[in-house]
Amino acid sequence: FVFARLACLTRSHGPQLRQVEEAWKRLSHIEREALADLMLADGVAQQNLILKFLPAFFAGAVNNPHVGLHSSLVVLVDVLERLMASAFARTRSQKSLVVNVQSLAVFAEKARCASVFLAVPSYISFHEKTSEVAVVVATAHAQRASQRTWADQSAQEVALMVRRLR
């Protein structure tokens, strides 16, 4: 069921199904389990997430040579884990939560560096709107989308500390 849903969400058919299969196989067991939990949740026994703009997120990632489907799945799992750990998911009595990932979809389309894209979960916040929670990419990180190379600031700080120790 999960593979079929991924194929539908990525609008894959024919030879493109091979890309979906390869991306799925490259995921860790934990990542596959997290995606299966998301896609098989029924909204009755377990909380269901309705991800607005998810097909656009996948389309932007698949059509971007710097991102790809596998990276988009890894980022999606990380974002969803952060969401489920947040107060938005824990304090809801409803069994369905609408999550707007339009900001991520735009970022997946524009990212010009794989490391910038893969770091995006560390630079998101969740904003509650009337009937949904929006995943918002921090402005400073959104501006990094056009960079072709990038070193995470924490990596730069470690390098600085190592230089100081010499």
User: pLDDT, tens digit, for every residue of 24-38?
Assistant: 899 899 999 988 888
Strand residue runs (E) in 56-152:
96-100, 124-128, 133-137
43: left (phi over 0), alpha (psi -120 to 50) or beta: left
Q: CB 47: neighbour CB atoms within 10 A?
A: 18
Task: Identify the helix (H) or strand (E) that includes residue 107.
Answer: helix 102-110
Answer with the residue of higher pLDDT: 129 or 121.
121
User: With 0-12 CB in 10 A as exposed, 13-18 as middle and 19+ as buried, what is 19?
Assistant: middle
Answer with the residue of higher pLDDT: 151 or 101.
101
Q: What is the mean pLDDT of residues 141-160?
A: 75
- Kindly indicate the confidence band of residue 12, based on its pLDDT and cuts at 50, 70 and 90: confident
Task: Report the share of the chain in percent with pLDDT over 70.
Answer: 82
Tokens of 155: 């990596």
Task: With 0.85 as the threshold, say if the pTM is over it.
Answer: no
Encode pLDDT of 60-93 as tens digits: 999 999 999 999 999 999 998 898 888 766 666 6
Residues in the chain, total:
166
Nearest to 80 by CA among 5, 11, 135, 42: 135
What are the CA-CA distances from residue 75 to residues 35, 39, 159, 164 (Å)?
11, 16, 26, 34
